[in-house]
């Protein structure tokens, strides 16, 4: 899935649904939702969007380095990819993105 437009569409179609289903198993879920809102924000630089969408698409992928269903370690590769991406774009994840994530989890 190399084309960034395809990845963005893939993320928009499935990310929030997967997070909603698995949030209790994903300790970085709120940060991931904030990153999602950063990725779809028109004010976010393209370079940050590409990094965010790539990391979020990796979380969505049914085939991982370590399958998600492996109890206890299934999300470790997702976490590593996510946190590397998050650290590189954290200056673009705004308080507004974090607030939207909080509101999304409250609903």
Per-residue pLDDT of the chain (107 residues; tens, 9 = 90+): 456 677 677 677 778 888 888 888 788 999 999 999 999 999 999 999 999 999 988 887 766 555 555 555 666 778 888 999 999 999 999 999 999 999 999 98
| Buried/exposed 76-85: b ≥16 CB within 10 Å, e otherwise | ebbeebbeeb
* pLDDT in the model for residue 45: 98
* Helical segments of the chain, H only: 4-22, 29-40, 46-60, 76-89, 95-106
* pLDDT in the model for residue 1: 47
* pLDDT in the model for residue 43: 97
- Sequence spans of domains, the chain: 4-106
């Amino acid at each position: 899935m190399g084309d960034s437009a395809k990845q963005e569409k893939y993320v928009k179609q499935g990310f929030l649904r997967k997070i909603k289903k698995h949030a209790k198993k994903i300790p970085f879920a709120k940060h991931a939702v904030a990153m999602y809102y950063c990725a779809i924000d028109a004010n976010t630089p393209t370079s940050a969007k590409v990094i965010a969408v790539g990391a979020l698409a990796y979380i969505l992928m049914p085939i991982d380095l370590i399958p998600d269903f492996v109890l206890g370690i299934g999300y470790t590769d997702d976490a590593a990819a996510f946190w590397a991406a998050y650290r590189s774009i954290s200056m673009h994840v705004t308080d507004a993105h974090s607030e939207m994530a909080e509101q999304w989890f409250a609903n």
